[in-house]
Amino acid sequence: MNKYFTLENGVLIFKRRQEIVRIEGWGENSLRVRTTENHGFLNEDWALSEKTENKAVAELTDEGAKITNGKITAEMTSEGRIRFLNHRGEVILKEYYRTMERGFDFGKDRDLFINMYQAARIYKTAGGDNYNIKLYFAADDNERIYGMGQYQQDNLNLKGSILDLKQLNTQASVPFYVSNKGYGFLMNNPAIGKVTFGTNHTEWEFASTKQLDYFITVGDDLKEIEKQYSAVSGRAPKMPEYAMGFWQCKLRYQTQEELLSIARGYYERNIPLDIIVIDFFHWTKMGEWKFDPEFWPDPEGMVKELDKMGIKLVVSVWPTVDKDSENMGYMKDKDLLIRTNRGLSFQMNCVSPSEFADMTNPETREYVFDIIKKNYLDKGVSQFWLDVAEPEYAEPDHDNYRYYKGQGLEVANAYPSDYVKMFYEGMKKAGRDDVISLVRCAWAGSQKYGALAWSGDVQSTFNTLKRQIKAGLNMGLAGIPWWNADIGGFMGGNIEDEKFRELLMRWFAFGTFSPVMRLHGDRDPHTKKPLISSDGKPCAGSGADNEVWSYGEKVEEVLRNFIDIRYKLKPYIKKATEEASENGSPIMRTLFYEFPNDKKAWEIEDNYMFGSDLLVAPVYQAGVTTREVYLPLGETWVEIATGEKYEGGKYVTAKADIDVMPLFARENAEVIDLLK
């Protein structure tokens, strides 16, 4: 039986017929598992980029073999079945076999077995060295699953969900989840696929990939699990203090003078503002990465005036290269663009046909950032907004695209990480330590490059606001602690509509207690005519005004109040961001992250902890002035609005007037004094 196993310095290798399986220690209390029907494994660690010492111990057993690394053990039978146990001997995860009688010779009768029964790992050729691979794990009716990135859906608990593993505007596939059974699981594979967390079994499927590669870690609580996962995938750097304040942007400021007039408006009204953003199509052409001098004639002078007002400048960039861009010829000749396998090479048509720079190629990253440094960073721009980061193909047929790192179907999901990596490494090389990039997508490990993910072009509705709460919480549990949503939503908000004004005030309150507070949106009505360039061509249009004072005196008063609260909280927010850098803890935290022994806390999906001490209960319904809030067991809670004290373990009715965010703090927490 043991003839199929090889033990090599804390590594367990199984080889039978076509398949090879490799299991090894990877960080504290963690294992990495790779399987393939090729003759060897890829030399690629993907998200598991932080090197760690392998302290695992592997040994042969009567059934086959096992490998232990701290609190986790993997047992493997001579038929190739795998299961994982914690340090208490409890099975936390095991592969699923629909039927598997003892004495059945999996090796001899393998093809018959696959046709008649359900194997745990199924490989079908997808051409060359690639396979369509399915992986099955047994289901547990009592399991709760969280993380996996950002999906625009109503449930926080992902048990029973079907999730596409692909990047889209408003969707970020970050394939790390945590379980109430005490483990975390990363599918360390950037291929396009799907996962089903079914009630009968869990199924991972990839259309075309060379191998399976996953990481599993065990901990006594979620904090230990996130710490161990972030130790091997990387942790967020320190967030710049100015990024913790208020950000102003809209679709879009069309000229340098318009942007400066807005900045002056904040300064003259004495409204705190740390960052103002220049959105898309401020450039000459896509893929030239420079200001259009006709409308932005003096970037250095603009930055100097902003600096005097204490405001930093963030500029939007896209990875698209216009067919007529001055850089198209060179980038095409040097193979710096994503290739199209068939048909026309143009991959997006926004204003004009364009192709995407291949950010998985180190040469592309170096070339593009050199241009960005010259035209933006050297002119005083502080940070960057990385839009269209999925990338957003006009036709998302990933089998038609080829990257430097491989075919689109097998590597596409890692593109956002390489995109943000370009800015992190480039700015570090330029001597900058305060790197934070607002980016419209993320993959596992993006956090270590200063990624500030946002939820994309979401709609301006109360239901969408409710979904953002869950999106932010699951992103944090997936290892991406820096996250935000467009305050007010991106699409569909009319500034003259009282219903939208109510939504905006509620969303603004939510934004106050998000990792980053950023006002943005394409507002109606679109009454402003697009500018006409000197050559007679119309420029990209812009929406209605979207500043704090754009919605009337009543709304302005409420928004200013929340901005003041945000700045009072800066010391507290700084501490929370430092925890993310030190141990991987989210800034927005589910109640059960802080109170894992409270069974009711595992059921709450619309309240959350902001940092360790402040409980936030956003209002996501129109026309209400109170809301029910569950206070976790084991603490005395102080309602910030009233000063009333409540013992935990029960629901209370909280004050929720339009200018009030329902907030509760642990008794004696320092944050109470900050909010007085």
Note the maximum CA span of the chain.
82
228-231: which pairs have CB atoms within 8 A and are 24 or more residues apart? 228/27, 228/28, 228/29, 228/30, 228/184, 229/30, 229/176, 229/184, 229/186, 229/479, 229/584, 230/447, 230/479, 230/583, 230/584, 231/27, 231/28, 231/50, 231/52, 231/584
Report how far residue 591's alpha carbon sits from residue 189's, in angstroms, rounded to the nearest whole number.
30
Q: Give the strand pairing for 312-317 and 275-278.
A: parallel
Q: Determine contact, residues 238/202, Cβ cutoff 8 Å.
A: no
CA 299 to chain centre: 31
Q: Annotated catalytic residue: which of 224, 457, 598, 613? A: 457
Q: Following DSSP, what letter does each residue of 126-152 receive, concatenated? A: EETTEEEEEEEEE--TT--EEEEEE--
Q: Is 387 among the catalytic positions?
A: yes
Residues 6 or more apart in contact with residue 50 via CB below 8 angstroms = 231, 232, 233, 234, 448
71-92 burial code (b ≥16 CB/10 A, e <16): bbbbbbbbbbbbbbbbeeeeeb
Report how far residue 168's alpha carbon sits from residue 458's, in angstroms, rounded to the nearest whole number.
12
Whether omega before 121 lies within 30 degrees of 0, making that bond cis, reads: no
Q: Annotated catalytic residue: which of 205, 387, 410, 635? A: 387
Q: Determine contact, residues 494/452, Cβ cutoff 8 Å.
A: no
Q: Is 659 among the catalytic positions?
A: no
What are the tokens at 471? 């999106």
What are the tokens at 370? 């050199």
For residue 277, count other CB atoms closer than 10 A to its CB.
Answer: 23
Q: Determine contact, residues 617/623, Cβ cutoff 8 Å.
A: no
Q: Is 322 among the catalytic positions?
A: no
Q: Nearest Cα to 578, choosing from 669, 482, 666?
A: 482
Q: Determine contact, residues 189/175, Cβ cutoff 8 Å.
A: yes
Q: Give the strand pairing for 11-16 and 5-7.
A: antiparallel
Report how far residue 422's alpha carbon sits from residue 351's, in angstroms, rounded to the nearest whole number.
26
Q: Tokens 């203090």 — which residue?
A: 241
Q: Determine contact, residues 440/418, Cβ cutoff 8 Å.
A: no
Q: Annotated catalytic residue: which of 390, 522, 579, 635? A: 390
For residue 20, count other CB atoms closer than 10 A to its CB.
Answer: 18
Report how far residue 489's alpha carbon sits from residue 259's, in angstroms, rounded to the nearest whole number.
21
Whether omega before 515 lies within 30 degrees of 0, making that bond cis, reads: no
Alpha helices in 80-186 (DSSP H): 110-116
Report how far residue 563's alpha carbon sits from residue 567's, in angstroms, rounded to the nearest whole number.
6
Q: Nearest Cα to 441, choosing from 471, 470, 464?
A: 471
What are the tokens at 349? 């048509």
Q: Which residues are catalytic?
A: 387, 390, 457
